[in-house]
């Protein structure tokens, strides 16, 4: 069995500027490259799991999202960071779909395909829906990056990504 870290995109990997889909608006969060390299050194597989309701709302297209995802992956690959998968839900929040967090569907895709041990795995998010999705998938090692929301059901909170190295050892 493998261990993994599932990461939300907006608010964790990059600065959340509301509906980021243009390269010029994509700005990495301070410390994300160093954190991901650290996690790879600890033999974690990395996954991105993100709600992208801007697609469903018509703010940008799925192709816009895929182009930005390609750009993001190229940035990280230059630093030796590889994501196994980037899973996303394009549905609007009021849509009763199976893939939108806090439902666990997207995490379960990675868990099943890559034979992930949920007890040794983590989720890093910035919203309660991220944490609940992990819990719903059986991942209880959760970290909320503090920003827009108050603490909730997560196991740990951090102000800065660098603090995560003290939690995941």
Sheet bearing 85-89, strands edge to edge: 85-89, 44-51, 3-7, 122-125, 142-145, 156-158
What are the catalytic residues?
8, 10
> Any idea which residue has 């603490």 for tokens?
151
Tokens found for residue 57: 């709302």
Residue 56 to residue 44: CA distance in whole angstroms: 32
């Amino acid at each position: 069995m493998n261990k993994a870290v599932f990461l939300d995109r907006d608010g964790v990997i990059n600065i959340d500027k509301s509906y980021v889909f243009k390269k010029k608006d994509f700005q990495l969060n301070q410390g994300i490259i160093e954190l991901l390299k650290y996690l790879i050194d600890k033999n974690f597989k990395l996954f991105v799991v993100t709600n992208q309701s801007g697609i469903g709302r018509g703010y940008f297209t799925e192709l816009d999202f895929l182009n930005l995802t390609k750009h993001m992956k190229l940035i990280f690959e230059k630093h030796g960071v590889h994501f196994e998968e980037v899973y996303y839900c394009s549905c609007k929040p009021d849509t009763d779909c199976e893939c939108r967090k806090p439902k666990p569907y997207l995490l379960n895709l990675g868990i099943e395909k890559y034979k992930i041990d949920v007890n040794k795995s983590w989720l890093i998010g910035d919203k309660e829906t991220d944490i609940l999705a992990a819990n719903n998938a059986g991942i209880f090692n959760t970290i909320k990056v503090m920003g827009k929301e108050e603490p909730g059901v997560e196991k740990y909170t951090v102000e800065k990504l660098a603090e995560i190295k003290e939690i995941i050892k």
